[in-house]
Amino acid sequence: MALIDIKDRKKAKVVILVVMFIYAFYNSSYLQLTTPILATMVSSVGYTDASLANMIITITSLSQIPAFIIAAIIGQRIDKRRWIVACAVIFSAAGAATIVVASNIYLVLVCRAIVGFSSGMLVLFSVAILPDFYEGRQLATFTGIVLAGSGIWGFVEANVSAAVCAAFGWQASYLLYVYGLVPMILFVLFIPSKPYIDLQALATGGGADGAAGRVETADPGDDRHVPPMVIVYTLVVILVCCFIQTLWSNFSIWIQGDLGGTVVQAGLASSFISLFTCAIRLLFGPIYNRLHHYAIHLDIAILFIGLLVATQARSFPMVLVAGGCLGLAMGLIIPTTLRLASETMPTNPVTAQSFVQAGVQLGLFISTFWRLLLNHLGDGSLHAAISQEVYFVAAFFVIAVIFTFVRTRRASALAASAKSDKGSIRGESAKGE
């Protein structure tokens, strides 16, 4: 039971959705509270090693990966409520502690790594908790809404952090991490400790509103077995996030350097990406319910269009189109692979989503090395790297289409064979009578 128990289940589900939307604060705060003030912090404290200073941002993504690995090993046996309370306290304490240890860059990196690890667990639960209370079409819709909350929170956090830094100094911005205790308190107060949905019964066909189009699921009796398709979806999200990040991480450099734009234009274009990410996640439910796994193909096609536009962009409106496509691709791929992995492993969505979330962070991390490879294939410029990447994304789309076609044909053949066997058994039974 939640500390504040709402007897009406319909009202309780609405409250759960609102709380989890607020909870999405964790999904972006580990980056967005720090990114806008990094330059001010570095110049104020006097860090001289640029690579170490840059790691203040990147180490949080890297340290999330072990968090997802641990969650994947523990799986559905994890006590979500206790982990959320513990991780929220650690997240807020480590974020604020950066102020105390700011004179030592290595201690700052330790604090940032702790922030990344704890936020990794908190990010995972923002979606992994939803199958306990929603199912089918409603689950797909609310997953998109909660993930859209991270885009909205990211926009708010970046602007508030920058404003606080300008008014009171960068140390005050780090105190905003203490706000992380608020979503945790709301979670403890309003989220029931006992799930509404029996995942074991749902996996065996007991759900009232199961999503259509499931092709492959794990054995409901073994919640630790990881089906091959979970690995496939993880590989897909690694590649897509890597392809997107190649341009996204260099977006301001591209606008201000190659295209001769202003800082204001770079900021506007970056916010445009977040806006489109948020928009498609709000529409994720209807898109996923209609397309199911074909949403991956749509996502790759959008990414291809965005990169193609980027290779031809010579004006700011074209930049916005390319940025919008990147935002749509990033906004769609993560909830799609999370839902597909969860449906493939219905009795243990925590493990399934841990694989996907680790894939997201790994894809973002290896994008730096992918860019180095593209530099070797071209002349080293960003435009040449994006031009090379267009071919890889096109090849990836073709492979995805062929894989889906073969898999769908195989699933249809197995279903027809099972139906034929069932008919034969019925016929023999009738003869026996």
pLDDT tens column, 366-423: 887 888 888 888 888 888 888 999 999 999 999 999 999 888 888 777 777 766 655 5
For 23, the token pair is 């909870």
Report how far residue 70's alpha carbon sits from residue 90's, in angstroms, rounded to the nearest whole number: 17
Q: Which amino acid is at 26?
A: Y
Classify residue 259 by its DSSP letter.
S
Could you check whether 1-197 and 228-427 share the same CATH topology? Answer: yes
**Spans in the chain with pLDDT lower than 50:** 207-222
Q: Which amino acid is at 55?
A: M
SS3 assignment for the chain:
CCCCCCCCHHHHHHHHHHHHHHHCCHHHHHHHCCHHHHHHHHHHHCCCCHHHHHHHHHHHHHHHHHHHHHHHHHHHHCCHHHHHHHHHHHHHHHHHHCCCCCCCHHHHHHHHHHHHHHHHHHHHHHHHCHHHCCCHHHHHHHHHHHHHHHHHHHHHHHHHHHHHHHHHCHHHHHHHHHHHHHHHHHHHHHCCCCCCCCHHHHHCCCCCCCCCCCCCCCCCCCCCCCCHHHHHHHHHHHHHHHHHHHHHCCHHHHHHHHCCCCHHHHHHHHHHHHHHHHHHHHCHHHHHHHHHHHHHHHHHHHHHHHHHHHHHCCCHHHHHHHHHHHHHHHHHHHHHHHHHHHHHCCCCHHHHHHHHHHHHHHHHHHHHHHHHHHHHHCCCCHHHHHHHHHHHHHHHHHHHHHHHHHHHHHHHHHHHHHHHHHHHHHHHHHHHC
Output the pLDDT for position 35: 75
Which residue has tokens 């005050």?
172
Q: Which amino acid is at 225?
A: H
Residue-by-residue DSSP string for 106-119: HHHHHHHHHHHHHH
For 335, the token pair is 């909830």
Give me the residue spans of the domains in the chain: 1-197, 228-427
Q: Are 353 and 362 in contact (CB under 8 A)?
A: no
Q: Are 326 and 303 in contact (CB under 8 A)?
A: yes
Contacts of 71 (CB under 8 A, 6+ apart): 78, 120, 121, 124, 350, 351, 354
In three-state secondary structure terms, 209 is: coil
Q: Which amino acid is at 346?
A: P
| pLDDT tens digits for range 218-247 | 444 445 578 899 999 999 999 999 999 888
Output the pLDDT for position 399: 95
Which residue has tokens 């992380």?
180
Q: Which class is 228-427 in CATH?
A: mainly alpha
CATH code at 1-197? 1.20.1250.20
Report how far residue 299's alpha carbon sits from residue 302's, in angstroms, rounded to the nearest whole number: 5
Output the pLDDT for position 307: 93
Output the pLDDT for position 183: 92
